[in-house]
């Protein structure tokens, strides 16, 4: 009996060891089954920003060949926290909320869900997402922690800033966004969702002035990612998001590099 226990223990321990060895992350993500998709717009003169946000300014300071023929460059940039592809930390709309540098990595490296609502939006710059648009499709990673990006189908307009922001003669904005109803529904019914992304300039509709979605998400401790670059196919589930903002200790937001690691073979079931 004692021998049997020893044998069973050996099998169990070696089984755990083998399965752990097989689960080496490098073996998985570099075996050719996965691709890296960049969901970030470049920071340059085309970077989109909203009022009261400093646009990306890049200044060439030193760029030259030195006396020994080798090249040296070192430049400077200035940018508002909420320009281009960026994160809004809860502190953006909540005085006691987390700053960018406080958001833990286990919220920033996380399963990604894409909620494609482009067909409902149908290029309507005044579309507002209500709960009835989502009742049948809000995929929540089966209740496990995840980051959801709402795809309004707006990335195709990014290069035309006036169209992307829906700027009118009166300098108002018109682009799609989330209703307060949806923001409250998500934060009350889907506690596992840690952040919300959009392929527009703001999670709130462009024409809105109350920032209700921003406030609701901030109060619930969720972060927001805006100006997500979704001009290429991304599986609706099965990807891992790397949401990596500049680690600004007291930041209300920050430019970030948003990347999805996705299976090349799109899963056939959730």
Q: Which residues bind Zn ion (CB under 5 A)?
A: 88, 226
**Alpha-helical runs (H) found in the chain:** 2-22, 25-29, 105-108, 118-121, 161-165, 180-189, 212-219
- Smallest gap from residue 225 Cβ to Zn ion (A): 9
Task: Using the minimum distance from each CB to Zn ion, give the nearer residue, 125 or 202.
Answer: 202
- Smallest gap from residue 264 Cβ to Zn ion (A): 32
Task: Using the minimum distance from each CB to Zn ion, give the nearer residue, 243 or 262.
Answer: 243
- Smallest gap from residue 80 Cβ to Zn ion (A): 11
- Smallest gap from residue 174 Cβ to Zn ion (A): 17
CA distances to 78, 252, 255 from 248, in Å: 14, 9, 10
Task: Using the minimum distance from each CB to Zn ion, give the nearer residue, 244 or 261.
Answer: 244
Tokens standing for residue 169: 């003669």
Residue nearest to Zn ion (CB): 88
Task: Using the minimum distance from each CB to Zn ion, give the nearer residue, 103 or 262.
Answer: 103
- Smallest gap from residue 82 Cβ to Zn ion (A): 6
Tokens standing for residue 9: 């223990």
Sort 107 into a burial class: Cβ within 10 Å, 0-12 / 13-18 / 19+: middle
Asked whether 193 and 140 are in contact (CB, 8 A), the reply is: yes
Task: Using the minimum distance from each CB to Zn ion, give the nearer residue, 226 or 236.
Answer: 226
Asked whether 262 and 238 are in contact (CB, 8 A), the reply is: yes
């Amino acid at each position: 009996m004692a021998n049997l226990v020893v044998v069973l223990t050996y099998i169990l321990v070696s089984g755990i060891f083998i399965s752990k060895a097989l689960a080496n992350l490098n073996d998985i993500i570099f075996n050719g089954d996965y691709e890296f998709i960049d969901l970030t717009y470049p920071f340059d003169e085309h970077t989109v920003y909203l009022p009261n946000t400093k646009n990306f300014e890049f200044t060439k300071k030193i760029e030259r060949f030195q006396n020994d023929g080798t090249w040296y460059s070192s430049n400077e940039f200035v940018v508002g926290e909420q320009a281009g592809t960026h994160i809004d930390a809860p502190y953006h709309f909540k005085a006691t909320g987390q700053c960018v540098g406080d958001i833990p990595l286990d919220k920033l490296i996380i399963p990604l869900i894409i909620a494609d609502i482009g067909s409902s939006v149908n290029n309507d710059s005044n579309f507002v997402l209500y709960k009835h648009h989502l009742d049948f499709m809000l995929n929540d990673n089966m209740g496990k922690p995840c980051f959801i990006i709402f795809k309004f189908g707006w990335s195709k307009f990014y290069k035309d800033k006036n169209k992307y922001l829906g700027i009118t003669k009166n300098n108002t904005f018109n682009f799609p966004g989330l209703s307060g109803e949806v923001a409250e529904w998500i934060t009350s019914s889907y506690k596992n969702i840690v952040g919300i992304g959009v392929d527009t300039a703001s999670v709130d509709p462009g024409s809105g002035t109350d920032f209700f979605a921003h406030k609701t998400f901030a109060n619930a401790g969720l972060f927001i990612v805006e100006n997500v670059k979704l001009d290429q196919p991304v599986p609706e589930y099965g990807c891992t998001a790397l949401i990596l903002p500049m680690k600004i200790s007291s930041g209300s937001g920050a430019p970030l590099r948003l990347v999805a690691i996705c299976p090349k073979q799109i899963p056939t079931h959730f």
